[in-house]
Structure 1
Amino acid sequence: MDTILNRYESGGAGPKYRAVAGAIRSAVEEGALAVGDRLPPVRELAWSLGITPGTVARAYTILTDEGALRAEVGRGTFVADPEARVPALDAKWQRHNTPEETDQVRLLSPRLPDMGQVSMIQDALRRLAERPALNLLNYPSREGFEPARRAVMGWLKGTPLGSLDNEDIVLSHGGQSGISLVMQAVLRGPRPVVLLEELTYVGFRRAAELLRAEVVSVPMDAQGIVPDALEALVRKHGAQLLCTSPEMHNPTGLFTPLERRREIAEVARRTGLQILEDDCYRVGRARELAYRALLPEQSWYVSSISKTITPALRIGFAIAPQGRRADLRRVAEHGFFGLARPLADLTEDILTRGETPEIMTRVRDELERYIRVAVNVLGTHDLVWREDMPFLWLQLPAGWRAGAFCQAAEAQGVQVRSADEFALRDGFAPHAVRIAVNAQVTLASFEAAVWRLRGLLDNPPEQISV
């Protein structure tokens, strides 16, 4: 501690976090801090220096980005070995956009870093202009979209979806469009019933309500949907469709293990219930069989490139169960004739490029850096996280209500999403918030924002000050 204190100039020119970083950097260069030495915890150093934890956190992040320090989840921050520093990205795949340094940080929805995909998309658009002229004159066709559908199959390689043919795939305008297509293909009658998890992605509810469907919530436990409760609700309401996200549940981060999936699939088999699996938030490898593999004639699958490459292009896809491809295709063709042909060609180009898997890996790795920072700051609280999950789920301590916490956070320049937004209108919502990763701000800005959340968590409004 004294090593840093003796070198810190509190009254110097420039931001205080740069003064802290300079003091640590000097200590390392002079040998007062050696490779492997553990730095003081952020809050302890901040108290000793008489500054905020966010200021110290920003200094640590700057030095970590430089390679002078290394952070380890749950252990702390250490002086890095200069010989072990991670090499910079190849020049060809340098960021096209620099992350923003800001005190106003939106953590409402995941925001991806640019790890080369912007340059790749720009090049793909240039190549698009060289496609045959007739692609820009004629209506899109099922035959013309086959290369794009095959590209999607390649992109999904490794996802356990069961038997799959490119004809089972329909391209959509993002995952939300895919959800709407499936509901239009499945729901029948004047007032169909759709079952949703008691905390769920709000897009399910909105799509169902657009189709004048009634939505009913299904109880959950630590493994996901409760099978007995599901069967009772199917029989009570005559429900036609269940919407679920078993791989990476939005917003809780919950994972449904294989045995529970088998039980849910068996309920659907007995009752004739259709299952829609939304896999849009998964950015790593699938951990278990999809419902389409467990229940091939009743399960639909939706995903997109929004959380792995970019949401800007609105490229998604829906996959029909065995025997239902014509129903799904008919909805798309009768609704909007399918995607614009240039967008389908762009999908093919992006998903078949040799560099795409490497860019996706870089995106995941960068998101993981932000996740680790958040866990280091918030890990003492009731936090659900995974290294391949672009958000965190935080149960609030006693004294905080979700709405009040979100308002207090926004007053400090940080926006997070309340659990209330994921509950049905008459449903129960826990005192919790979802914190999305925003990798379009600097890691220092992100860390400072998370420290402001930590300050609120440590000082709930019902706590009595002494």
Structure 2
Amino acid sequence: MNAARREDLLRVAEKLGIPIIEDNVYGFLDDEPPLAALSPDNCVVIDSLSKKVAPGLTLGFVVAPRRLRETVMASVRSGGWTASGFAFAAADRLMSDGTVAELARLKRLDAVARQRLAADRLSDFDIQTNGKCFHLWLTLPSHWRSQALVAAAARRDIALTPSTTFAASPGHAPNAVRLALAAPTMDQLDAGLRTLSGILNAREEDFDSTE
């Protein structure tokens, strides 16, 4: 979000008395500060080392304003959530010796490289993204529907997420898909994007369910 949009969001939330829960697990990919930096009394920030370091290091952090701190702690306790001693020790060591910072730096470079590759391979199509993140939003040509494209891509071992997954209610999803770029190797990503481009340039009827 741009600065004006962030300010609008904070103003509306404050006017309505709604606290903001900010998922910041991918925040390390950009220099944009969390919303809590602008509205510390109304934002609960959630972060984790699972994206910065490795999925197995499931150590999360919650930073809450003082007025909500007891409520947040009670919620955590009631859910029985806890972290293992190993996770605490590993996190302490990796943060102290600079490993987490170095991994974050390398992942930022990787995200930029993957976005550049995607932008090149999908240059003929309408994509919306942030050049520093690990996913993008692909608006489909008029001759494709998102569910049909997902099925056609799956038959070529490409997993896509249709826009309906993110719609707040049925019937309001745009004709688009979400592409996650982080998991494949660069070679796999390149091959997958080339294949996807070929599918998009074909027509839906060329990929019927009997194929």
TM category (shorter chain) comes to 0.7 to 0.9
1:397-412 → structure 2 map (5 Å cutoff): 397-412=141-156
Counterpart among 9, 18, 23 of residue 264 in structure 1: 9
Local SS of the residue matching 1:414: coil
Residue of structure 1 in register with 2:109 after alignment: 365
Aligned residues of 1:283 and 1:307 also touching (Cα < 8 A): no
Q: C-alpha distance in 2, partners of 1:413/1:322? A: 48
Matched, 1:419 2:163: yes
- For 1:260, give the aligned amino acid: R
Structure 1 position 425, deviation (Å): 4.2
Counterpart among 110, 125, 132 of residue 381 in structure 1: 125
Q: C-alpha distance in 1, partners of 2:182/2:119? A: 14
Residue of structure 2 in register with 1:449 after alignment: 192
Aligned residues of 2:146 and 2:176 also touching (Cα < 8 A): yes
Residue of structure 2 in register with 1:436 after alignment: 180
Q: C-alpha distance in 2, partners of 1:280/1:295? A: 19
Residue of structure 1 in register with 2:22 after alignment: 277
Task: Report Cα offsets for 1:2-52 as digits up to 9, x if no partner.
Answer: xxxxxxxxxxxxxxxxxxxxxxxxxxxxxxxxxxxxxxxxxxxxxxxxxxx
Aligned residues of 1:402 and 1:419 also touching (Cα < 8 A): yes
Structure 1 position 427, deviation (Å): 5.3
CA RMSD of aligned residues (A): 2.1
List structure 1 runs of 4+ shifted beyond 3 angstroms. none
Structure 1 position 368, deviation (Å): 2.7
Structure 1 position 281, deviation (Å): 2.8
Structure 1 position 398, deviation (Å): 0.6
Matched, 1:294 2:38: yes
Instruction: Flag structure 1 segments of 5+ consecutive residues without an equivalent.
Output: 1-255
Pick closer, same or farther for the CA change 1:337–1:411 going to 2, 3 Å: closer
Pick closer, same or farther for the CA change 1:272–1:344 going to 2, 3 Å: same
1:82-161 → structure 2 map (5 Å cutoff): none
Structure 1 position 337, deviation (Å): 6.1
- Percent identical pairs in the alignment equals 27
Pick closer, same or farther for the CA change 1:424–1:267 going to 2, 3 Å: closer
Structure 1 position 402, deviation (Å): 0.6
Q: C-alpha distance in 1, partners of 2:13/2:100? A: 37
Aligned residues of 1:395 and 1:432 also touching (Cα < 8 A): yes
Q: C-alpha distance in 1, partners of 2:107/2:95? A: 15
Q: C-alpha distance in 2, partners of 1:421/1:261? A: 25
Aligned residues of 2:163 and 2:178 also touching (Cα < 8 A): yes
Local SS of the residue matching 1:448: helix
- For 1:335, give the aligned amino acid: G
Task: Report Cα offsets for 1:319-366 as digits up to 9, x if no partner.
Answer: 112322222122223432632233222221222222332222222223
Q: C-alpha distance in 1, partners of 2:67/2:132? A: 34
Pick closer, same or farther for the CA change 1:424–1:447 going to 2, 3 Å: same
Residue of structure 1 in register with 2:209 after alignment: none
Aligned residues of 2:25 and 2:47 also touching (Cα < 8 A): yes
1:18-33 → structure 2 map (5 Å cutoff): none
- For 1:274, give the aligned amino acid: P
1:110-259 → structure 2 map (5 Å cutoff): 256-259=1-4
Structure 1 position 409, deviation (Å): 0.5
Aligned residues of 2:116 and 2:131 also touching (Cα < 8 A): yes
Which structure is higher in helix share?
Answer: 2
Counterpart among 76, 80, 97 of residue 353 in structure 1: 97
- For 2:63, give the aligned amino acid: I
Q: C-alpha distance in 2, partners of 1:283/1:416? A: 25
Q: Which has the higher contact order (CA 8 A, sep 6+)?
A: 1
Counterpart among 47, 52, 63 of residue 319 in structure 1: 63
Instruction: Flag structure 2 segments of 5+ consecutive residues without an equivalent.
Output: 207-211
Q: C-alpha distance in 1, partners of 2:78/2:89? A: 21
Pick closer, same or farther for the CA change 1:274–1:413 going to 2, 3 Å: same
- For 2:27, give the aligned amino acid: R
Aligned residues of 1:370 and 1:439 also touching (Cα < 8 A): no
